[in-house]
Structure 1
Amino acid sequence: MPKNVKRAGALIAVALLLASCSSKPPVSLVTPLPPVAKHPLTVKSSRDSGPMRGVWLATVSRLDWPPVSSVNISNPTTRNVVQKKALTDKLDKLQSLGINTVFFQVKPDGSALWPSQILPWSDTLTGKMGQDPGYDPLQFMLDEAHKRGMKVHAWFNPYRVTVNTKPGTVAELNRSISLNPASVYVLHRDWIRTASDRFVLDPGIPEARDWITSIVAEVVSRYPVDGVQFDDYFYAETPGSTLNDSLTYQKYGSGFNSKADWRRNNTQQLIEQVSRTIKQLNPNVEFGVSPAGVWRNRSHDPLGSETSGAAAYDEAFADTRLWVQKGLLDYIAPQVYWPFSRKAARYDVLAKWWADVVKPTNTRLYIGVALYKVGESSKNEPDWTVNGGVPELKKQLDLNESVPHIDGTILFREDYLNQPQAQEAVNYLRTRWGS
């Protein structure tokens, strides 16, 4: 076994130990833990590198990458050449636009885009779960982005196992029992629930949270990632497909005033232990979350924003404001996906509300901007089509660059830079950010 694999295993074991210990509410969030890295690492500040100009690059359902057609190429060598070229072409374009950070989705569901000892290979690469694509997409992305002077944050969807519950999906999951590693669906069937018509992990099970932490630890200990990000899928439910965690609540929920409070505590415990584990493995790796733009509406909480949209606190059971106040995050990137004119959730109202939240803390604030809406007709948000959406985009970027405590912008998502309806906005970005 290569030395680096042994070391990664040892680090992950330590991370798991830390994670299991922090499944109980910690005595102090600032209590120093035993050092993991052999040599002390100097903590670098991202504030020194200028404003964030980021983009999310999604791999779930091959939304941004790899090209859908590449999966049908039977020759692995040819397929890899096509996938790698598609990625380097994207990075070249992003570099020309002045993008300095890519949020690369490495765990789109219960599978991985790196050779993991915990997760099977993602089927997004070859069309078949568990099939080695013949190269390491995460390492390739890191090499190519860093070569271009761009940072890479490994983007994880923590709880999602699949994007649907179709019979074919279930059959593929069951077949994974022969893989090494197999899917969590067959290894820990008791952790699996259905919500939003998807298979997900039950966030109330401590061992499931420890398992997620070990996955993050594997990446941080093996790869020179610049950051780690969780998206907004914590408790993800729909009215017609709720997460049945009644038995989990009975087992672990004593001492809480409500199931909602217990759920929020579960989410926070995951954030706490992942944050601690990352800092123990490499304090230079930043940890952030990109939650829904609304924490709470003022109609429900006087501390909330003057909005009337779905709230992370009440819908996803994620008390994102508290995570900032507790210093659990290096950055937060709320998805403020509305224009200035959207009364229910005005862009400027939310961006300034978040700026006030981070103001007394050391947490950086990046605003997620709805590139996917630019140039798209909308009855409720017509401003996205006025002059190709450029005036609205300009107003949003102007605000981000003028309000203190807003440290940058992240665009959702990469493939919309290639769509016809967004080209006026893309040209504007090149003029504004490009070199």
Structure 2
Amino acid sequence: MSHSLSFQTVSKLGALVAGALLLASCSSEPPKSLVTPVAGKPSLPARPQQNQEMRGVWLTTVSRLDWPPVASVNSSPALRISQQQQALRLKLDNLKSLGINTVFFQVKPDGTALWASKILPWSDMMTGKIGEDPGYDPLKFMLDEAHKRGMKVHAWFNPYRVSTNTKPSTVSELNRTLSLDPASVFVLHRDWIRTASDRFVLDPGIPEARDWITSIVAEVVTNYPVDGVQFDDYFYAESAGSALNDSQTFIKYGKGYHSKADWRRHNTQQLIEQVSRTIKQLKPGVEFGVSPAGVWRNLSQDSAGSDTRGAAAYDEAYADTRQWVQQGLLDYIAPQVYWPFSRKAARYDVLAKWWADVVKPTHTRLYIGVALYKVGEPSKMEPDWTVGGGVPELKKQLDLNASTPQISGTILFRENYLNQPQTRDAVNYLRSRWGS
């Protein structure tokens, strides 16, 4: 695709958004940081303090894990719409009764959208077919219903994922979008697409790909009354057997970097800076946060790291999450601390307190992501999740969050585990603790 085509989608959003996009430099010299490193004071104005404790839940749409109901997809259009909307209303009623005040709603599970986008085709999660209009706007519906109940909604984006697999049937389906408007990025910008962790992903080293992601966030923030925007931990996502091949991109854009790892971290930094600035220019009241892996770096790798032995975001996702907090780029950070107190390699209390120390001198709020999905599940390494139905472990985690001044709340992963038999005791406990 020609260079100019990369920005067609951006221009559709009008001068307001285009002006807000901080386009990364395409020169071979590493671009200078858009953000002045913190010297005593963060680079953004003080955050208004949040009076209410965050009691959040992630509501996943990828693979229809939490919503929409799998059975609804094969129904007639009218029935499908009523089934999907009714299921969401019931979920929100249940969340409200539990005292949950914020839903992190996955609006971009891959290279498709759960809103009426001019940049991305409709998600096949709704209809079974990429690009097929679901007959209503799921994001608008979610916002209307949640706001009616006094609950906030953060639009949760997976920035780089294009598909959850690389099967021939997936390739055919993505190719079929060429006749649609908008078509998939898979066919519009084939040169941005790589394979990693057996999925199609965008190459984070390509400046135009980062601009494109920024334009998608801008579209949502401009057109919908979202309370916040969240990126999950999938920045550079690769596996041992399926690494991201970005060597050509590194040759093109990586001059001046000592290592590919440093260059990759710079690319992730550029995306976070662009998105943060764009949101603040469009709607300063919309919060921007990231939910990274719980470990930034281990003490064995870095004297500033946590006393843990876990997979580290800095080294594996090429995300310097601590730096983003220190530079005032995030309104909140929600590390996924998915282990119990007794897990020696990554103790809950060790990590929660480490993050509390990181946010202490900054204006970034800290919410801890808690592993609801492990509650009641037998585990050799983490037996505490089944003791007393998981209630004692959950209580300990929530007590620590509540008693640590720097921790502003908890987010549960993920919504459908509130409806499972193995979490019944824990859910009753949550209702007694948080519910009205």
Deviations 1:343-374 (A, max 9, x none): 00000000000000000000000000000000
Answering whether residue 28 of structure 2 is matched by residue 13 of structure 1, we say no
Shift of the 298–27 alpha-carbon distance from structure 1 to 2, 3 Å rule, reads: closer
| CA deviation vs aligned residue, 1:209-244 (integer Å, no higher than 9, x gap) | 000000000000000000000000000010000000
TM-score, normalisation: structure 2: 0.93
Distance 1:203 1:7, change over 3 A: closer
Is the contact between residue 34 and residue 273 of structure 2 (CA under 8 Å) also seen in structure 1? no
Identify if the C-alpha distance between structure 1 residues 240 and 181 changes in structure 2 by more than 3 Å, giving closer, same or farther: same
SS in 2 for 1:407: strand
Q: Are residue 79 (structure 1) and residue 80 (structure 2) matched?
A: yes
Q: Secondary structure at the match of 1:228?
A: strand
Q: Give the Å deviation of 1:19.
A: 3.3
Amino acid in the other structure paired with 2:20: A
1:30 and 1:133 map into 2 onto residues whose CA distance is: 44
Deviations 1:153-206 (A, max 9, x none): 000000000000000000001111001000000000000000000000000000
TM-score with structure 1 length normalisation?
0.93
2:72 equivalent to 1:70: yes
The residue number in structure 2 matching 1:194 is 195
Opposite residue 232 of structure 1, the aligned amino acid is D
Report the CA distance between 1:15 and its aligned residue: 3.1
2:142 aligned partner: 141
Cα pair 2:296 2:321 within 8 Å, conserved? yes
| Structure 1 stretches lacking a partner, 5+ long | 1-5, 32-42
Partner of 2:35: 29
Note closer, same or farther for the CA distance 1:30–1:258 as it changes in structure 2 (3 Å cut): closer
Superposed counterparts of 1:200-215, under 5 Å: 200-215=201-216
Distance 1:402 1:293, change over 3 A: same
Tell me whether 1:402 sits opposite 2:406 in the alignment.
Answer: no
Partners of 2:16 and 2:373 in 1: CA distance: 39
The Cα shift of 1:145 comes to 0.3
- Whole-angstrom distance in 1 between the partners of 2:46 and 2:317: 32
For 1:388, the equivalent position in structure 2 comes to 389
Shift of 1:27: 5.8
1:107/1:318 Cα in 2 relative to 1: closer, same or farther (>3 Å)?
same
User: 8 Å contact 1:15–1:214 — kept in the other structure?
Assistant: no
Q: In structure 2, the residue corresponding to 1:65 is in which secondary structure? A: coil
1:156 aligns with 2:157: yes
CA shift for structure 1 position 11:
2.7
CA distance in 1 between partners of 2:412 and 2:190 (Å): 36
- 1:46 is displaced (CA, Å) by 6.0
Q: What SS does the aligned partner of 1:47 have?
A: coil
Look up the equivalent residue of 1:19 and give its one-letter code.
L
Contact 2:356/2:406 (<8 A) preserved: yes
What are the Cα deviations for residues 101-134 of structure 1, in whole angstroms up to 9, with x where unaligned? 0000000000000010000000000000000001
User: Structure 1 residues 27, 232: CA separation in 2 closer, same or farther (over 3 Å shift)?
Assistant: closer
Amino acid at match of 1:103: F
Tell me, what secondary structure is at the counterpart of 1:307? Answer: coil
Is the contact made by 1:15 and 1:213 (CA closer than 8 Å) also made in structure 2? Answer: no
Question: Counterpart of 2:164 in structure 1: which amino acid?
Answer: V
Superposed, which structure 2 residues align to 1:116-127 within 5 Å? Answer: 116-127=117-128
Distance (whole Å) between structure 2 residues aligned to residue 308 and residue 361 of structure 1: 26
Distance 1:44 1:220 in 2: 21
2:359 is the alignment partner of 1:353: no
**CA contact 1:70–1:79 (8 Å) conserved in 2:** yes
Kept in 1: contact 2:47–2:363 (CA 8 A): no
CA deviation after TM superposition for structure 1 residue 28, in Å: 5.0
Cα drift, residue 390 of structure 1: 0.1
Q: In the aligned structure 1, how far is the partner of 2:421 from the partner of 2:345?
A: 29
Q: Look up the match of 1:34.
A: none
Give the Cα–Cα distance (whole angstroms) in 2 for the partners of residues 197 and 375 of structure 1.
30
Q: Equivalent residue for 1:39? A: none
Q: What is the SS of the residue equivalent to 2:242?
A: coil
Q: CA deviation at 1:21?
A: 6.1
Maintained 8 Å contact 2:375/2:389:
yes
SS in 1 for 2:56: strand
Structure 1 residue 58 corresponds to structure 2 residue 60: yes
Letter of the 2:307 partner, please give it.
Answer: E
Matches of 1:118 and 1:334 in 2, distance apart?
Answer: 29
CA distance in 2, matches of 1:147, 1:316: 37
The percentage of counterpart residues that share the same residue type is: 78
Q: Figure out how many residues of one structure are paired with residues of the other and give that number.
A: 418
Q: What is the aligned partner in structure 2 of residue 278 from structure 1? A: 279
Query: 1:49: which partner in 2?
Result: 51
Note the C-alpha offset of 1:7. Answer: 9.3
Residue type at the aligned position of 1:315: E
- How far apart, in 2, do the equivalents of 1:387 and 1:21 lie? 55
What corresponds to 1:221 in structure 2? 222
- In structure 2, the partner of 1:100 is 101
Instruction: Give 1:25 deviation, angstroms.
Output: 3.8
Give the Å deviation of 1:10: 3.4
Q: 1:253 to 1:30 in 2, by over 3 A?
A: closer
* Secondary structure of the corresponding residue to residue 386 of structure 2: helix
Q: Is the 8 A contact 1:22 1:273 kept in 2?
A: no
The CA deviation at 1:30 is 6.7
SS of the equivalent of 2:194 reads strand
Q: Secondary structure at the match of 1:213?
A: helix
Q: Return closer, same or farther for 1:343/1:358 CA change in 2, 3 Å cut-off.
A: same
Cα deviation for residue 44 of structure 1 reads 10
Q: Secondary structure at the match of 2:363?
A: coil
Paired residues of 2:36 and 2:327 also in contact (CA < 8 A): no
Distance 2:268 2:393 in 1: 34
Q: Residues 7 and 171 of structure 1: is their aligned pair in 2 closer, same or farther, counting only changes over 3 Å?
A: closer
Deviation at 1:331, TM superposition (A): 0.3
Q: Give the Å deviation of 1:12.
A: 2.8
- Structure 2: state its 5+ residue gaps: 1-10, 38-44
Question: What SS is found at the alignment partner of 2:407?
Answer: coil
- Check 1:22–1:224 CA distance in 2 against 1; reply closer, same or farther (3 A cut): farther
